[in-house]
């Protein structure tokens, strides 16, 4: 439990982070501020591991090891960046846990992970790639503030908490020809249109009537040009794929690519594929959820179990593939503006319940 002085220090830190929003992958000043806060206020061993911070509470060798993770990046906005996802709050909350750890003997080692670049999906992957200790954790916990739910409530879901998603690009190259003789060339427009229309049927084939989410959002269908004398020779279809299960997305990608390749063979076209912004599903470990529910209830925290996973994605999915654990939400208020919207701002009133929730998991 934070005393008033500690809470004020955390709120002050949150305001400092808010005032220097930095985009994914360029969180230099944010890292400096977090590092100097931890060094000034705690005895944790703080390491900069190349773009992210690891703060360790070590009691000895051979003890169980648990991890807690926060993100820190802001969103790009015209003219700069802004904290419209509350990652300034998440980092401050984890610093609150750092203060609460001071002087405690828990019979375990605790690692606080301050990762960068959540919004691009790159930051958690960097933690996976640069810290072998992740795989030794017996549990990893992370949270996100979530508008639309009672303020300070703890939002828990068994299984998938947030969807997998990715951007998928199908690029088709053909050959130009005089518009009077399109047969002399190879025009990709019809194939790209057929492909765009075929995707809903592919999704039905994968789901076979199951109610889980698998969806495609057309982002761009770009082909040909403005010269009415030339038959189109190249084009691409950009789609965002999203679902409760990464395996479903993988199956959908396989179908889309097979369709495109078969069409290209028939029509003398060539195709290439690209994935962008890949986020796996953020899925909690069943045993970790059961344990956490017991502890949250024992601590008297108001727990709400969610029926549906969040549609958005979270790069914590990469961490939860390497270590068992749980991702959960802290309600930011029923009427709070949505994440990533202009009116959004992290509410400091969430710091106390969020630190209490993390403390309950220690």
Q: Which residues bind Zn ion (CB under 5 A)?
A: 85
Closest residue to Zn ion using C-beta atoms? 85
Write down the least CB distance from residue 356 to Zn ion, Å. 21
CA–CA separation, 122 and 133 (whole Å): 19
Distances (CA, A) of 100 to 56, 107, 153, 208, 362: 13, 15, 20, 49, 10
Write down the least CB distance from residue 26 to Zn ion, Å. 16
**H-assigned helices in 239-282:** 246-267
- Residue closer to Zn ion by CB (options 84, 171) is 84
- Residue closer to Zn ion by CB (options 18, 57) is 18
Helices 351-360 and 4-19: angle between axes, nearest 10 degrees: 110
- Residue closer to Zn ion by CB (options 57, 144) is 144
Write down the least CB distance from residue 88 to Zn ion, Å. 11
Helix (H) or strand (E) segment spanning residue 321:
helix 316-322
Residue 120 token pair: 């691009």
- Residue closer to Zn ion by CB (options 85, 213) is 85
Write down the least CB distance from residue 340 to Zn ion, Å. 6
- Residue closer to Zn ion by CB (options 8, 217) is 217
What values do phi and psi take at 296, rounded to 5?
-60, -45
Write down the least CB distance from residue 71 to Zn ion, Å. 6
**H-assigned helices in the chain:** 4-19, 28-41, 87-101, 123-130, 189-207, 246-267, 286-298, 316-322, 351-360
Q: Is 212 left (phi over 0), alpha (psi -120 to 50) or beta?
A: beta
- Residue closer to Zn ion by CB (options 30, 109) is 30
Write down the least CB distance from residue 125 to Zn ion, Å. 16
Q: Checking DSSP bridges between strand 325-331 and strand 139-146, what pairing results, if any?
A: parallel
């Amino acid at each position: 439990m934070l005393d008033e002085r500690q809470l004020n220090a955390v709120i002050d830190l949150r305001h400092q982070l808010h005032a220097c929003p930095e985009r994914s992958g360029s969180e230099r000043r944010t890292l400096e501020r977090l590092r100097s806060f931890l060094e000034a206020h705690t005895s944790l061993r703080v390491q900069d591991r190349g773009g992210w911070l690891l703060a360790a509470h070590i009691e000895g060798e051979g003890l169980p090891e648990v991890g807690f993770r926060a993100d820190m990046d802001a969103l790009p906005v015209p003219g700069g960046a802004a904290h419209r996802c509350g990652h300034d709050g998440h980092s401050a909350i984890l610093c609150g846990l750092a203060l609460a750890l001071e002087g405690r003997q828990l019979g375990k080692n605790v690692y606080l992970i301050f990762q960068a670049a959540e919004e691009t999906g790159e930051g958690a992957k960097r933690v996976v790639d640069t810290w072998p200790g992740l795989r030794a954790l017996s549990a990893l916990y992370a949270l996100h503030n979530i508008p639309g739910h009672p303020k300070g409530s703890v939002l828990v879901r068994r299984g998938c908490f947030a969807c997998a998603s990715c951007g998928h690009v199908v690029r088709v190259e053909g050959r130009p020809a005089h518009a009077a003789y399109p047969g002399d060339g190879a025009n990709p427009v019809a194939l790209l249109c057929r492909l765009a229309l075929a995707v809903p049927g592919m999704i039905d084939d994968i789901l076979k009537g199951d109610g889980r989410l698998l969806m495609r959002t057309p982002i761009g269908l770009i082909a040909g040009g403005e010269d009415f004398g030339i038959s189109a020779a190249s084009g691409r279809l950009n789609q965002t794929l999203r679902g409760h299960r990464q395996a479903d997305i993988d199956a959908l990608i396989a179908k889309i690519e097979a369709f495109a390749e078969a069409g290209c063979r028939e029509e003398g076209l060539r195709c290439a594929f690209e994935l962008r912004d890949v986020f796996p599903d953020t899925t909690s470990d069943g045993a970790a959820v059961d344990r956490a529910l017991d502890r949250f209830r024992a601590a008297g925290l108001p727990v709400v179990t969610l029926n549906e996973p969040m549609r958005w994605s979270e790069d914590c999915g990469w961490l939860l593939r390497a270590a068992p654990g749980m991702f959960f939400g802290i309600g930011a208020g029923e009427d709070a503006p949505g994440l990533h919207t202009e009116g959004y701002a992290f509410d400091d009133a969430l710091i106390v319940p969020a630190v209490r929730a993390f403390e309950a998991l220690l």
